[in-house]
Amino acid sequence: MYRIAFVLLAGLLNGCSINQLTVRASMPMIEGGITALYRENDLQLAQGAFAPNIELMEGMLINDPDNRVLREYAAQAYYGYAYGFVEDEDRQRAARLFHRGMMHGLHALRLAGFDVSATGNTLEEFTRHAQKLDKKAVPSMFWTASCWAKWVDMNRDDVDAIGELPKAVVLMERVLALDENYFHAGPHLFMGVFHGGRSPMLGGNFDLAVQHFDKARALTQNKILMVNVLQAQYLERQRYDQSAFHQLLTAVQDAPDDLYPEHALANVLAKAKARIMLEKENQWF
């Protein structure tokens, strides 16, 4: 019995270094930290928690660089920090943070079997490779696409950056096909922003945007206030509907603080962003 255990342990150690084993044994701590952060309803505490958590993950990745789940968590953390606390104040810094998240996501995609750098320059080839990914790759695709699209959003004046957006859309379309519920109907929110944030002359589709936002509300039982915020920010501003803009954001402000305790942070952020946008309403309409 002891000999068998020793052989198994030796095999494990041959496959993983001590540092890798330490990192993997620590993953529940990272997962617990993420859960606690989602439940936080104090924005200052949440903002202060992001940086040390990101640095912790970066340090762990030095010791275990091919830990796909940790790469996904890092991409998610950079996205959350940049979107929640940076982009409204410093778009250039936000762009750098989204890009760092995107790089973690691309690494995770490689580990999932999709090396983006090996797909050539055609969107058709990129799409063909993306279609081969299964549900296990959903987190890698989702966070890569989310960071990628926000990096493009922060670089709207860069033609080369804008040219990257279709690849992010291809990844999110694959996520939508595999798991439309992932991260609070996140694929529908992404597609709502994508179709609603451009005029029809530039390829936007307001009807499709409404369908995706409405689907996100239905799937989340109207508990995620960010749906209203994103619809107001991208769709209603684009179609210049001040009444809908005001109604959506006022509903966010009036929502109960304990609407969704398990994801209090998302809703507190939504309320903060709604307040900022309402203060700018007269400038935008």
**pLDDT digits 0-9 by tens, 6-18:** 333 444 444 577 8
pLDDT at position 278 is 97
Give how far the C-alpha of residue 244 lies from the chain's centroid of Cα atoms, to the nearest Å.
Answer: 26
Q: Is residue 16 part of a domain?
A: no
Q: Is residue 198 part of a domain?
A: yes
Let me know: does 253 contact 275? Beta carbons within 8 Å. yes
Q: Is residue 180 part of a domain?
A: yes
Q: Is residue 33 part of a domain?
A: no
Question: The domain containing residue 144 runs over which residues?
Answer: 74-284
Based on the structure, what is the number of domains in the chain? Answer: 1
pLDDT at position 116 is 87
Segment 171-229, tens digit of pLDDT:
999 999 999 999 999 999 999 999 999 999 989 999 999 999 999 999 999 999 999 99
pLDDT at position 143 is 98
Segment 7-47, tens digit of pLDDT:
334 444 445 778 787 777 777 878 888 999 999 999 999 99
pLDDT at 110 over 90: yes
Confidence of residue 54 (pLDDT cuts 50, 70, 90): very high
Confidence of residue 266 (pLDDT cuts 50, 70, 90): very high
Segment 125-156, tens digit of pLDDT:
999 999 999 999 999 999 999 999 999 999 99
pLDDT at position 119 is 65
pLDDT at position 11 is 41
Q: Is residue 2 part of a domain?
A: no
Q: Is residue 168 part of a domain?
A: yes
pLDDT at 170 over 70: yes
Question: CA 262 to CA 35: how far, in whole Å?
Answer: 8
Q: Is residue 49 part of a domain?
A: no
Return the CATH number at 164: 1.25.40.920
> What's the whole-number average pLDDT of the chain?
91
Q: Is residue 177 part of a domain?
A: yes
pLDDT at 97 over 60: yes
| Closest-CA residue to 172 (of 202, 130, 201, 207) | 130
Let me know: does 271 contact 252? Beta carbons within 8 Å. yes
